[in-house]
Amino acid sequence: MKGSSPIKFSPRRGDFFATLTQRVNEHFKSTGTPRQANAEMKIKTVFMFALYLTPFILMLTGVVQNALGMLAMCMVMGVGVAGIGLSVMHDANHGSYSNKSWLNNALGYSLNIVGGNAFNWKVQHNVLHHTYTNIHDVDEDISPRGVLRMTPHGEWKTIHQFQHIYAWFFYGLMTLVWVFVKDFVRLVRYQRDGMVKKQRADIRTEWIVLVATKVLYFVYILAIPMLVLDITWGQWFIGFLVMHYIAGFILAVIFQPAHVIDGTEYPLPDDGGNMENSWAIHQLLTTTNFANKSTWFSWYVGGLNFQVEHHLFPNVCHVHYRKISKIVENTAIEFGIPYKSEPTFWGALVGHTKMLKELGRRPATVLTDAAPVGAPVVAH
């Protein structure tokens, strides 16, 4: 929490994660399976990049020329952008795609290729979200969110009572905000807050990479199409907007239900910065799986419907989550820790909507960082 003591998780019940880690390690050892990408993952990588690049090439080469056809190509590109983010970039920037750091770094920069910034994402996602999941004012996935109130400890505004209705519109703007605004704002903030220094990164290098890759992105996504294709600025903007809106919406509806869902918890540290539970138990209390039986769905979303497994073992490539999920679930049950899971994606969206509505209700009292509200923290 900003301005307070560093957050420290409780060492209690550390035997849960020690036991779980031992069992997961034994699984990989006994099966002879590497933790990183397999042949399926490599094929998926080619497919996701093709899903993004093929429609773009078809338009530039004149194979697809009519307005409706090009609009359809932009829609497919949006699905490809989300696919690269969910199934390739995500693993690479967690270091779980390969045991070769250069390959992880190279594929991690696929985020820059589609308009984002890998360094900012690593700080926001790997460091802040994965370490301090659902902790108000630290986990940037839930706070602050402006027109969206994602935590019971956030400031309430009158408009929030309608957020379960309008949130879906704003979800589609996510990657557009990244491209034009958020990446620049985040790098300034991370420099100011000392996060850049903590990552042992050179701020000059990161600014050069940020600006250079943004320029390159707009050269190939804007300048080249405008020079090659017989289209107006308005037509280009519509295609660009459609592509990013689809990508942003897909990404948002996959990530949000995993942590902002009916029954989730929002624990806070005490005045000394101490959390009631260990880090691993905290992840189980703040994370929910969904649609785990759907193979095709799991394939496209990069296994992120196995969000519990991902949060506990982010250094394991997502293609292995299904096989270790039973180990995680059984160990959690053995230690009396909740293993939260929604049977279907639709059920997860319904649960997310319920939580948005609950968080949109006017609080009975004024909320502050020192006044925990919502689901109680369960000590184990």
Where is 77: in which H helix or E strand? Answer: helix 67-84
- Asked whether residue 215 is assigned to any structural domain, the reply reads yes
380/361: higher pLDDT: 361
Tokens read off for 296: 């095709």
Whether this model's pTM surpasses 0.85? yes
HSE on the CB side for 84, CA within 13 Å? 26
Q: Would the pLDDT of 380 be above 60?
A: no
Please classify residue 76 by burial: count the beta carbons closer than 10 Å to its beta carbon, then call 0-12 exposed, 13-18 middle and 19+ buried.
middle
Specify if 150 maps to a domain: yes
249 occurs within a structural domain: yes
Cα dihedral sign, 313-318-321-324 = negative
Judge whether 9 lies within some domain: no
Query: Within a domain: residue 13?
Result: no
Task: Please tell me the distance from the alpha carbon of residue 85 to that of residue 250, in angstroms, as a whole number.
Answer: 10
Report whether pLDDT(17) > 60: yes
Does residue 354 belong to any structural domain of this protein?
A: yes
Q: What is the pLDDT of residues 290-349, one digit of tens each?
A: 999 999 999 999 999 999 999 999 999 999 999 999 999 999 999 999 999 999 999 999
Residue 205 pLDDT > 80: yes
Q: 246, 328, 343: which is closest to 290 by C-alpha?
A: 343
Classify the phi-psi angles of 3: left when phi > 0, otherwise alpha if psi is within -120 to 50, otherwise beta.
left
Percent of the chain exceeding pLDDT 90 equals 91
Of 103, 53, 52, 38, nearest in space to 250 by CA: 52
Mean pLDDT score of the chain: 93
CA atoms within 13 A on the CB side of 140: 14
Q: Which token pair is 230?
A: 């017989």
Q: Is 272 helix (H, G, I), strand (E, B) or coil?
A: coil
Residue 371 lies in a domain: no
Does residue 373 fall inside a structural domain?
no
| Gap between the Cα atoms of 354 and 264, Å rounded | 11
- What would the mean pLDDT of 57-77 be, rounded to a whole number? 97
* Domains in the chain, number: 1
SS3 assignment, position 341: strand
User: Which pLDDT tens digit goes with each residue over 134-186?
Assistant: 999 999 999 766 899 999 999 999 999 999 999 999 999 999 999 999 999 99
At 202 the three-state DSSP class reads: coil
Place of tokens 């059984």: 330
Q: What is the pLDDT of residue 21?
A: 97
- pLDDT of 11 higher than 90: no
CA contacts within 13 A on the Cβ side of 78: 25
Q: Is the pLDDT of residue 374 over 60?
A: no
Domain that holds residue 37: 30-363
**Distance of alpha carbon 79 from alpha carbon 315, whole angstroms:** 25
- Is pLDDT at 372 greater than 80 in this prediction? no
